């Protein structure tokens, strides 16, 4: 994980022009991603998306300097969720085959 300054002035400066790392229509999902990023020492915030709601109602935003790292973390988390969802679906199907 890249090291970033924990200087609050730097963090405020970076949020003057935040980058969107993910969109979702679910507020709870946006908050979970925000917490995931913060737990990995990436400043993050959730904002309602008024510019293009077709992309998702909520935008998860990070400072531009953190965008690549944040993308990797969210994509990794999404892969795990998809994997476990697939396993659960297969377990339910196998249950009825017995």
> Residue 35: which domain range?
14-97
Would you give the distance in Å from CA 93 to the centre of its chain? 30
Q: For residue 33, what is the domain's CATH number?
A: 3.30.70
Instruction: Tell me which H or E stretch contains 26.
Output: none
Residue 5 in domain: no
Task: Identify the pLDDT of residue 95.
Answer: 53
Q: Does some domain include residue 2?
A: no
Domain annotation covers residue 46:
yes
- What is the block-wise mean pLDDT of the chain (98 residues), using blocks of 10 residues? 46 70 95 96 95 91 96 85 68 56
- Residue 63 inside a domain? The answer is yes
Q: Is 19 helix (H, G, I), strand (E, B) or coil?
A: strand
Nearest alpha carbon to residue 78 among 38, 33, 31: 33
Per-residue pLDDT at 92:
59
CA neighbor of 67 nearest in space, from 27, 30, 37? 37
Q: Into how many domains does the chain fold?
A: 1
pLDDT at 16: 75
80 falls within a domain: yes
Question: What's the pTM value of the predicted model, to 2 decimals?
Answer: 0.69
Q: Which of 68, 80, 14 lies closest to 45 in space, CA to CA?
A: 14
């Amino acid at each position: 994980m890249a090291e970033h300054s924990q200087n609050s002035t730097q963090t405020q400066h970076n949020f003057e022009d935040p980058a969107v790392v993910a969109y979702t229509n679910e507020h709870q999902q946006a908050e979970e991603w925000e917490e995931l990023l913060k737990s990995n020492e990436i400043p993050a915030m959730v904002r309602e998306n008024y510019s293009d709601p077709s992309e998702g109602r909520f935008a998860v935003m990070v400072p531009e300097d953190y965008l690549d790292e944040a993308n990797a973390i969210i994509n990794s988390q999404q892969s795990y969720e998809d994997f476990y969802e697939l396993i659960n679906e297969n377990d339910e199907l196998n249950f009825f085959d017995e």
